[in-house]
């Protein structure tokens, strides 16, 4: 139940509406907005939404190929996740509007199998049962262009102060708005791609990290709009662009200490070695969730730090799984693992869920970790990659679909109902893409995230 004081505080603060947002199976943030006076009722009984949002595709088409949602009939309830006077964020960049994250439940109040927030909550509980706390954070890449003519918002060079000077006013507002909206970040910089920016969100517990990723997206869009800019988080905004990753960092702790840190040659513990081994072993299946779209497949190119091949390395940015080790300067608590093959077309709750599950399964199995590769395997010939056991991750829908359906881990994490809807949506997107050029596919995805 909502503390009645919350409605009073919001109203006195000039808030007239609360947007309740959730993320669908395409990584698209969908929402309903209720007047602030209706927030208490929404928290108690939810807001009605169609059951078929789980089978909306990236082009707002509805596929009925999944048996569980094969008709337009049915209603579910969208409930704002609000605890006492917390959980509602007045949006600094959208005066008068506040934000609440939503969960979906069945019309009778029972759990809804297509609610992705619940999927992540189950994996957090599984980690706790295994004795671990999880920390996670996303690095968000975004391309900025001028609203007026589509020209680049900054001219580069990559990683330069000159590039950021072109967008000073936007950067200042963005930093202020992120802080006001309660989204901690480590840093931001001009990235490698044309007119690209990267924002590193600070590590949080997994549910808070996914929520922060969603709210950061809303915050960035609003700050861009205020300065005549438009933000694209699409995996590949255009064929000329390097592409946007939303790199996913995770770590485990036990008894208040980083459980990945140890004394082997890479600074890993046995837990850390098995955690990484679990991720590498499950890569074909999990990247079908963490980078699932037709745009993701076009982004997955060697030489673009997009995780095109299934291997791990120590600080190797071409590796799909990158170990970021501790050091005397950073301290023993710094060890974390980055999944490169992750982007904005992923549902962040599902992306985190399958990543955590893969690592936990590796620990449970005491999975053996192969030696790291410190080179760009894209420069190797096929024979050398085959000899090293390095395989390419999927670049076609058929390959990725097969990997998705072959993954027992993904099926267990998502459940049969949600997996069926997820595959149906991917099939619908692939069918649309088959009738369009690569340029048309990327244009269709450019602004939806």
Sequence ranges of the domains in the chain: 4-112, 122-445
Position 139 scores a pLDDT of 97
- Measured distance CA(197)–CA(236) in Å, rounded: 14
Note the residue count of the chain.
449
Place of tokens 């949080």: 204
Task: List all residues 6 or more positions away from 340 whose beta carbon is below 8 Å from its beta carbon.
Answer: 245, 247, 305, 306, 307, 317, 319, 320, 321, 322
* pLDDT value at residue 2: 77
Strand partners, 151: none
Element (DSSP H or E) covering residue 336: strand 336-339
Is residue 16 exposed (0-12), middle (13-18) or buried (19+ Cβ within 10 Å)?
middle
Q: Which CATH number fits domain 4-112: 3.40.50.2300, 1.20.1430.10, 3.30.230.10, 3.10.20.70?
A: 3.10.20.70
Q: Mean of the pLDDT values across residues 412-424?
A: 98
216 and 142 Cβ atoms separated by less than 8 Å: no
Q: What is the mean pLDDT of residues 161-177?
A: 96
Given a cut of 70, whether residue 366 has pLDDT beyond it is yes
- Please compute the mean of the pLDDT values over residues 436-444 and round it to a whole number: 96
Tell me: pLDDT of 257 over 50: yes
- Per-residue pLDDT, averaged over 151-164, amounts to 94
**pLDDT band at residue 86, thresholds of 50, 70 and 90?**
low
CATH class as words, domain 122-445: alpha beta
The reply to whether 4-112 and 122-445 are identical in fold is no
Nearest CA among 334, 175, 332, 143 for reference residue 240: 143
pLDDT one-digit tens code per residue, 206-256: 999 999 999 999 999 999 999 999 999 999 998 877 899 999 999 999 999
pLDDT of residue 4: 81
CB 418 within 8 A of CB 410: no
In this predicted structure, what is the pLDDT of residue 254? Answer: 97
Distance, in Å, from the CA atom of 24 to the CA atom of 12, rounded to the nearest integer, reads 33
pLDDT, tens digit, 9 for 90 and up, residues 35-68: 999 999 999 999 999 999 999 999 999 999 999 9
Contacts of 201-205 spanning 24+ positions with Cβ under 8 A: 201/137, 201/138, 201/139, 201/140, 202/137, 203/135, 203/136, 203/137, 203/249, 203/251, 203/336, 204/135, 204/136, 204/137, 205/124, 205/133, 205/134, 205/135, 205/136
Candidate from 85-89, 260-264, 345-349 with smallest mean pLDDT: 85-89
Tell me the average pLDDT across 338-365.
98
Q: Which two tokens stand for residue 283?
A: 């890569």
Between 160 and 242, the more confident residue is 160
Span 372-378, mean pLDDT? 95
- Distances in whole angstroms, Cα of residue 147 to Cα of each of 194, 225, 229, 244: 16, 8, 5, 19
Closest CA to 323 of 251, 400, 236, 384: 251
pLDDT for residue 288 is more than 50: yes
Q: With CA atoms as reference, report the closest residue to 308 among 322, 324, 319, 323.
A: 319
Place of tokens 């590039």: 163
Q: Which two tokens stand for residue 121?
A: 């909550």
Please tell me the predicted confidence (pLDDT) of residue 269: 98
Mean pLDDT of 421-439: 97
> What is the per-residue pLDDT for 85?
44
Give the residue from 104, 128, 120 showing the smallest Cα distance to 351: 120
Residue 84 pLDDT > 60:
no
Between CA 88 and CA 86 the distance in angstroms is: 6
User: What is the arithmetic mean of pLDDT over 179-188?
Assistant: 97
2-31 confidence digits (pLDDT tens): 778 889 999 999 999 999 999 999 999 999
| Confidence tier at 167 by pLDDT (50, 70, 90) | very high
Query: In this model, does residue 324 exceed pLDDT 90?
Result: yes
- H-type alpha helices, 81-235: 116-129, 161-166, 168-180, 206-226
Share of the chain above pLDDT 90, in %: 93
Q: Which residues contact 389 (CB under 8 A, 6 or more apart)?
A: 370
């Amino acid at each position: 139940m909502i503390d009645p004081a919350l409605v009073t505080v919001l109203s006195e603060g000039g808030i007239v509406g609360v947007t309740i947002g959730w993320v669908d199976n395409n990584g698209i943030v969908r929402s309903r907005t209720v007047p602030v006076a209706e927030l208490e009722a929404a928290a108690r009984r939810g807001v009605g939404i169609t059951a078929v949002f789980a089978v909306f595709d990236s082009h707002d088409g509805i596929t009925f190929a999944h048996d569980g949602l094969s008709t337009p009939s049915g209603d579910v309830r969208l409930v704002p996740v609000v605890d006492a006077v917390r959980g509602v964020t007045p949006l600094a960049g959208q005066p008068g509007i506040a934000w609440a994250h939503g969960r979906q439940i069945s019309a009778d109040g029972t759990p809804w199998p297509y609610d992705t927030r619940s999927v992540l909550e189950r994996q957090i509980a599984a980690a706790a049962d295994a004795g671990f706390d999880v920390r996670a954070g996303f690095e968000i890449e975004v391309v900025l262009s001028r609203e007026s003519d589509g020209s680049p918002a900054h001219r580069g060079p990559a990683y330069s102060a000159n590039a950021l000077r072109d967008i000073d006013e936007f950067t200042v507002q963005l930093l202020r708005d992120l802080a006001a909206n309660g989204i901690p970040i480590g840093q931001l910089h001009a990235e490698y791609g044309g007119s690209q920016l990267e924002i590193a969100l600070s590590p949080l517990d997994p549910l808070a990290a996914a929520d922060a990723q969603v709210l950061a997206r809303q915050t960035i869009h609003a700050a861009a709009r205020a300065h005549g800019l438009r933000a694209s988080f699409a995996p590949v905004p255009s064929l000329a662009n390097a592409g946007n990753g939303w790199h996913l960092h995770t770590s485990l702790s036990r008894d208040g200490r980083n459980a990945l840190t140890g004394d082997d040659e890479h600074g890993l513990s046995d837990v850390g070695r098995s955690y990484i081994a679990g991720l590498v072993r499950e890569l074909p299946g999990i990247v079908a969730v963490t980078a699932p779209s037709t745009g993701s497949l076009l982004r997955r190119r060697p030489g673009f730090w997009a995780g095109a091949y299934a291997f791990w390395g120590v600080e190797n940015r071409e590796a799909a799984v990158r170990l970021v080790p501790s050091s005397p300067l950073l301290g023993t608590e710094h060890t974390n693992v980055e999944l490169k093959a992750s982007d904005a077309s992923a549902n962040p709750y599902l992306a985190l869920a399958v990543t955590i599950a893969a690592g936990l399964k590796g620990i449970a199995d005491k999975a053996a970790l192969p030696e790291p590769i410190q080179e760009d395997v894209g420069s190797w010939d096929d024979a050398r990659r085959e000899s090293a056991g390095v395989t390419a991750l999927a670049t076609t829908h058929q390959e990725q679909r097969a990997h998705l359906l072959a993954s027992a881990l993904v099926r267990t994490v998502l459940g049969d109902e949600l997996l069926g809807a997820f595959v149906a949506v991917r099939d619908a997107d692939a069918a649309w893409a088959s009738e369009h050029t690569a340029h048309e596919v990327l244009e269709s995805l450019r602004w939806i995230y």
